[in-house]
Chain A
Amino acid sequence: MKSLITRRKSLLVAASAALALSLSACGGGSTTTPPVASASFEAGTTMQKLNEAQKITIGTKFDQPLFGQKGLDGKPVGFDVEMGKAIAAKLGIPEDKIEWVETVSQNRESFIEQGRVDLVIATYTINDARKEKVAFAGPYYEAGQALLVNKDDNSITKPEDVTGKKVCSVTGSTPAKTIAEKYNAEVVPAATYTACLEPLRNKQVVAVTTDNVILAGYVDKEPDAFKLASDETFTKEPYGIGLKKDDTVFRNWINDQLEEFAKDDTYKKAWEATAGKVIKTVPELPTIDRY
């Protein structure tokens, strides 16, 4: 009983700490923010336009722990958000001039096409179908699909183990499609990934599936309740930065910046401040796909 109470206490403490963190980030005291460059760009490029406007709109997820999650103060935090800040800084735009817009899985392409956002950094997997409508810089990270199971469940170690069983995922997401079509699991659709945790806890589903980094966030929050079925992933999800399809100059420029972030430790710092709290190994920047 005592340990239960302390666990809960520690949770509360963790929550307050997270809050304090987000508050301090709001106050501008964040250590991860790179210095704003006083860059100048060739006239007519997107970089020059954004730099001149001193404003950039970035679409991100608001419900993905470690990558893009909205804090209590209304500002998103996570690795995607740090990437956005770093790119904005290279454009000479300070952090408080970034407008964050929530993009959900279904509206990312249309938001880019209609110019509602300048960039989408939202655990956005690069694939050929999407490349028909938008362009991708990066990948800046390679995730993979994994399974989250109850701590005491050792019967599931690989995706084949969930064939014919109930697996929860977000309605219409790519992981839901994969687990249903490739492994014949029965998909239980939910509005958000966090909503999936309840049926898992109650053993109404055997697993929750999505990208490993997102699931790691849940394991981090409740290590006594959940675990990853395996450290192996069964798909490759290269995350890219989405932008207008024909803007090759901007795409190449972002790719250059990403390589620079890897060299000057911006990438490492961004990781350590966010996802690195759970996944200790700092990933290598994947080879940029300059198509």
Chain B
Amino acid sequence: MTSVLYDVPGPKARLYSLLGSAAGILIILGILAIAVVTLAQQGIFDADRWEIFYGPMAPDVWSLIGQGILSTLAAAAVAAVIAFPLGIALCLLRISLIPWIRIPTQVVLEFLRGMPVVLMMLFVLLVFATGQFQAVVVGLVLYNAAIFAEILRAGIQSLPKGQREAGLAIGLRSFQSRMSIEFPQAVRRMLPSLIAQLVVLLKDTSLGYIVGYEELLRKIQIMADFLGPDFLFPAFFVGAAIYILINLTVSRIAIMIERRGSKKAAGGMASAIKTVDLEVNVPGTDKK
């Protein structure tokens, strides 16, 4: 699509584009330079501010950061593992043929989706007086299960009607058709969205900062509180960089899976048969 929006640039356009690019890069570099100089004037780049990362205190500092990363990942992993099956269950209830199951589920889902995650965390923390970890996990589970349910529902609705009809025609019960025919296809179709939602879930663990769960950002704050405010910025920059790196890695994996999926989809019927063939024969491929 994008390539048809404009001509292949000629020599003059290429020159302008190059000059424009150079100017743009210069402006960005200039803004960065101002930021760096301002920070430098406040002594942010003085070696002793960063010594916490390599000086005598480094082992403690890094072990604290390590704990922060672990708590972040732990909350995300536990939440994801619980939220996914719960999402499938909610989806089944949501597309149930019986109205008095379907409609209440729809109301609950709308409620969960319309609620800030951090409010749910606070709710669990205060009303059920749980620990911070449980509060973060339950908040994440409730919200993401609702989102997973909606994604899967969209996936099932996007399937050709014939899939379900064929299932019912060969004598499968409605539930069997859902589980063995529709869900596997919906999950595959929606895999990119599901993984994108996992990245959101991972990011949302940082809301734990607000309810007092000691994830990475909170650990950083605790560390800076203890060491003194001069260390807030170095600690914050390192923490932010780690957070972004983790999320970028997960996003990359998501994109890789998406590419793999779209290649399969693009191949048409013949290659689809081939891939199925392949998957049966290649060990280690997830095929049940």
Contacts and interface: CB of A to CB of B under 8 A. Distances in A.
A194 B129 CA distance: 25
Contact of B64 (A4, A16, A62, A72): A72
Given A15-B52, A15-B228, 7 more contacts: A8-B230, A15-B226, A69-B226, A102-B132, A106-B125, A191-B209, A198-B232
Interface of A: 4-5, 8-9, 11-12, 14-16, 18-19, 23, 62-63, 65, 69-74, 101-102, 104, 106-107, 110-111, 113-114, 116, 191-192, 194-195, 197-198, 221-222
Contacts of A110: 126, 129
Interface residues of B, number: 32
Contact of A14 (B60, B126, B223, B228): B228
Contact of A116 (B43, B57, B129): B129
B216 to A, nearest CB: 15
B261 interface: no
Contacts of A114: 129
A70 B48 contact: no
Interface of B: 43, 46, 48-49, 51-52, 56-57, 60-61, 64, 67, 125-126, 129, 131-132, 209-210, 212, 221-232
B223 A191 contact: no
A73 B226 CA distance: 11
A11 B229 CA distance: 10
A18 B212 contact: no
A107 B129 contact: yes
Nearest to B67: A74
16 contacts: A5-B46, A8-B43, A8-B46, A15-B226, A15-B228, A16-B57, A62-B222, A63-B222, A72-B64, A106-B125, A106-B126, A107-B125, A110-B126, A116-B129, A197-B229, A222-B229
A194 B224 contact: yes
A70 B228 contact: no
A120 B10 CA distance: 75
A23 B212 CA distance: 24
A195 B228 CA distance: 12
A212 B103 CA distance: 55
